[in-house]
Amino acid sequence: MNNEEQQKKTGSQHNNTRPQRNERYGKPAHARNGSVRPPYRGRKDSDATSRPKTFLAHSHDRMGTSEPVSRTLSPLEQSMLLNKGRDRRRPPSRGNTGPGGTPRAHEASMPARRIKHSAGREKAESRRMVLAFPQTPTMVPIPPLKDGDIRIVFLGGVEEVGRNMTAIEYKNSIVIVDAGLQFKEANTPGVDFILPNTRYLEENKHKVKGLVITHGHLDHIGGIPYLMDRIGNPPIYTRLFSSLLIKRRQEEFPLLAPLDIHLVEENARITMVDIHVSFFAVSHSIPDSMGAIIETPQGDVVCTGDLRLEHTDGIVSEAEHDIYEVFKSRNVLVLMTDSTNCENPGFSTSEQLVYDNIEEVIRTTPGRLIVSTFASQVDRMLKILQFAEKYGKKVVVDGRSMKTNVEILKAAGLFDPPKDLIIPAEEIESYPPDRILALVTGAQGEEFASLMRIANKVHKYIRLTPRDSILMSASIVPGNERETQRLKDNLSRQGAKIVHYKIMDIHSSGHANADELAWIHAKINPRFFIPVHGYHYMHRVHAEIAKKLVPAENIIIPDNGMIIEIRDNGSTMVALKESAPRNLVLVDGFSVGDIQEVVLRDRQMLSQDGIFIIVATLDTATGKLIKSPDVISRGFVYLRESQDLLRNARFLAKKTVEELSRGMRPIDYDYVKDGVTDAVARFLFQETAKRPIVIPVILSV
């Protein structure tokens, strides 16, 4: 035990002898909230050989006291530790997850650190780890569902684009539609992914009968590895291509329980105790997309998932007419459908027009052609491969998500290429440039994606020449404008010709525009409407489209956590004043759960004003510092050019430590550090108008 710990221990035994505080600084933080700071509880070296490794976390009771608790590593956390082969610091490319775009399929897998395990997987199963999130707060009591009523709970996918998850409850059965993830936002720095909050389902997991997956994009399947164990690992119902994407992603979490996946086809009908579910095909940018019809005696609840219409110049195809004929004979109670592109007027660009233009570019380009698109645009990727085969090109597929989806296309029987069509990147120089087509990731300017590495001249095998052409078959996701512009600048500096969606129609979204949505509403003809899959403003716009067919009082715009019930034999729809838990569930390194607000706030402060650390060594016998404090600063000011500021900060820190510790026996280090923090932070703000995080470290001798 060092001197500081000894004096803390002594001080806790003699609280009555504590001297008068300096009123200028007030009480220390832990005294203000009535809590007691616990001593550090480490692990002796000898413990390592006598028992499995144990890590401690702190649980906090309502009074703010803290004591260490240990927790066994869950299978999910073990899998995250064992997940090998990827750099945890490599940020996943966002893909097209914004309005007017298509969420990527399988682009970003859970990042993990490569870890060596000397005793193998069995030994890892006994490991424990620190949890970086607090205890889940008590859920507000929600009234039980009355017999005959239908309850719809929005766990994610509204108020944002991503982490789609909705629960439909009838009698003693709950059917879940989708389980996606969302990429981090500005208010969640350092976080890997954001998940739906499943606390409501965890409280009612005995009712959960199944999970329906509408299609295989990450904002609809990405949460499965993290959430299934929490909700009882129910059976999953989906189509073939989506199931292959789910299985491939699940391979990255080898210690999780196996998934119970049931394949369904369009027009199939299954029974989940009190609920029947039918399926229908929808058009989207990925194969095997489908909508779900949850059947109840009061009527049908229709969840379309993401969708668009196949059309030619606004004339909807016969295939689409045939699909939606099924609703003529149905009593549709509620429609929940995609709002992502509802702000765009008219019909979206026809995908057939996009295919025709891409084929023309591939046919007429004289030199090497590099095509970049979203890996989630699987249908388009398949067409590009077919066009390359048609015109005698050799294809280099570069980018992990591209390679993954090509392999899944083969496994699903959707693509059977000739043996020599796809060649490895290292053989690209073995063929004439006009016979090469490279299909790569990185249309959004992602730092480590293939196209950005080509633009930055760091790609191992591909070097641009003025005869090369770049086809960027993707729109710009809002927020990625600067990265995309920098990407195009770096490509053009090397003389490459760039063709993008503003020059010709080589990209179309996988989401329906306003007139397509109006057509869908007319075909389905629901009694009630709830817009989903988008931000609040998008829902407002979508509601205006729906009002042409549905009375305004029959439309509710949802928020995450909102609970909507259909009552009185399907005649009324109401939103409950109670809500399901809606706080963010974050994947942050090895932690999955809540992160305390102070952690995110500190990360934001660090990113804005940096950190200022003061290290002082105090002679406890004299109450004086042994020497002038040391200062460590990162992201605040350049210390070599701020010597006056540094000198004054040291002087202030020294003066404050000595004044606050004078006559104090034992020394209350927390009180002294709080005083130093306040004084130095105030001084730095006066001098620089910046608020770095100030951390004093006081050593005692």
In this structure, the answer to whether residues 473 and 564 fall within a common structural domain is: no
In this structure, the answer to whether residues 536 and 607 fall within a common structural domain is: no
Q: Is 338 one of the annotated active-site residues of the chain?
A: yes
Rounded average pLDDT over 279-301: 95
The reply to whether 54 falls in a domain is no
pLDDT tens per residue across span 645-679: 999 999 999 999 999 988 888 888 999 999 999 99
How many CA atoms lie within 13 Å of 464's alpha carbon, on the beta-carbon side? 25
Last-in-domain residue among 500, 524, 553:
500
Number of domains in the chain: 3
Confidence bin at 616 (pLDDT 50/70/90): very high
Residue 227 vs residue 592, higher pLDDT: 227
What is the percentage of the chain residues whose pLDDT exceeds 90? 60
Distance CA 134, CA 588 (A): 13
Distance CA 453, CA 497 (A): 17
Confidence bin at 623 (pLDDT 50/70/90): confident
Total number of residues shown for the chain: 701
Given the residues 178, 219, 288, 338, select the one marked as catalytic: 338
Residue 77 has pLDDT above 70, yes or no: no
Rounded average pLDDT over 260-266: 94
In this structure, the answer to whether residues 336 and 188 fall within a common structural domain is: yes
Res 113: pLDDT: 31
Domain limits for position 399? 351-500
Last-in-domain residue among 556, 588, 620:
588
Confidence bin at 81 (pLDDT 50/70/90): low
Report the CATH number that the domain containing residue 294 is assigned in CATH.
Answer: 3.60.15.10
Tell me the range of 165-169, 187-191, 398-402, 448-452 where mean pLDDT is highest. 165-169
Return the structure tokens found at 498.
């760039």
In this structure, the answer to whether residues 198 and 232 fall within a common structural domain is: yes
Task: Tell me the backbone φ, ψ of residue 539, rounded to 5 degrees.
Answer: -65, -40
Q: Where are the alpha helices (DSSP H) in 102-211?
A: 120-124, 199-203
Res 29: pLDDT: 41
pLDDT tens per residue across span 409-459: 999 998 888 888 999 999 999 999 999 999 999 988 888 899 999 999 999
Is 124 within 8 Å of 82 (Cβ atoms)?
A: yes
Residue 39 has pLDDT above 60, yes or no: no
Return the structure tokens found at 49.
């050989």
CA distances from 112 to 77, 523, 590, 686 (A): 11, 46, 8, 42
Distance CA 650, CA 652 (A): 5
The reply to whether 127 falls in a domain is no
Report the CATH number that the domain containing residue 423 is assigned in CATH.
Answer: 3.40.50.10710
Rounded average pLDDT over 42-55: 37
Res 71: pLDDT: 54
Res 41: pLDDT: 34
Res 375: pLDDT: 87
The reply to whether 53 falls in a domain is no
In this structure, the answer to whether residues 327 and 368 fall within a common structural domain is: no
Rounded average pLDDT over 352-372: 94
What is the per-residue DSSP string for 437-458? EEEES-TT--TTSHHHHHHTT-
In this structure, the answer to whether residues 470 and 404 fall within a common structural domain is: yes
Query: Which of 687, 678, 691 is closest to 607 using CA atoms?
Result: 691
The reply to whether 128 falls in a domain is no
The reply to whether 52 falls in a domain is no
Q: Any bridge partners for residue 611, and if so which? A: 634, 693
Q: Is 117 one of the annotated active-site residues of the chain?
A: no
Task: Tell me the backbone φ, ψ of residue 607, rounded to 5 degrees.
Answer: -70, -25
pLDDT tens per residue across span 544-559: 999 999 999 999 999 9
In this structure, the answer to whether residues 335 and 370 fall within a common structural domain is: no
Between CA 316 and CA 319, with CA 318 as vertex, the angle to 5 degrees is 100
Is 281 within 8 Å of 289 (Cβ atoms)?
A: yes
In this structure, the answer to whether residues 579 and 604 fall within a common structural domain is: no
Residue 229 vs residue 480, higher pLDDT: 229
In this structure, the answer to whether residues 325 and 432 fall within a common structural domain is: no
Distance CA 646, CA 294 (A): 67
Is 272 within 8 Å of 210 (Cβ atoms)?
A: yes
pLDDT tens per residue across span 131-169: 333 344 455 689 999 999 999 999 999 988 889 999 999
By CB atoms closer than 10 A (0-12, 13-18, 19+), residue 128 is middle
Confidence bin at 80 (pLDDT 50/70/90): low
Is 412 within 8 Å of 454 (Cβ atoms)?
A: no
Given the residues 106, 511, 521, 539, select the one marked as catalytic: 511
In this structure, the answer to whether residues 283 and 422 fall within a common structural domain is: no
Is the bond preceding residue 666 a cis peptide, omega within 30 degrees? Answer: yes
In this structure, the answer to whether residues 552 and 650 fall within a common structural domain is: no
Query: Which of 268, 302, 316 is closest to 525 using CA atoms?
Result: 302
The reply to whether 123 falls in a domain is no
Distance CA 150, CA 170 (A): 5
Report the CATH number that the domain containing residue 629 is assigned in CATH.
Answer: 3.10.20.580
Is 220 within 8 Å of 164 (Cβ atoms)?
A: yes
Query: Which of 56, 40, 33, 42 is closest to 8 using CA atoms?
Result: 40
Is 521 within 8 Å of 549 (Cβ atoms)?
A: yes
Last-in-domain residue among 533, 554, 588:
588
Return the structure tokens found at 452.
């950005």
Is 510 within 8 Å of 377 (Cβ atoms)?
A: yes
In this structure, the answer to whether residues 173 and 260 fall within a common structural domain is: yes
The reply to whether 81 falls in a domain is no
The reply to whether 272 falls in a domain is yes
pTM for this predicted structure: 0.76
State the average pLDDT for the chain: 82
Residue 504 vs residue 168, higher pLDDT: 168
Letter for the amino acid at 525? N
Least confident of 20-34, 343-357, 385-399, 646-660: 20-34
Rounded average pLDDT over 237-264: 94
Q: How many helices (H) and strands (E) does the chain have?
A: 20, 31
pLDDT tens per residue across span 471-500: 999 888 766 788 899 999 999 999 999 999
Distance CA 71, CA 110 (A): 22
Rounded average pLDDT over 212-226: 95
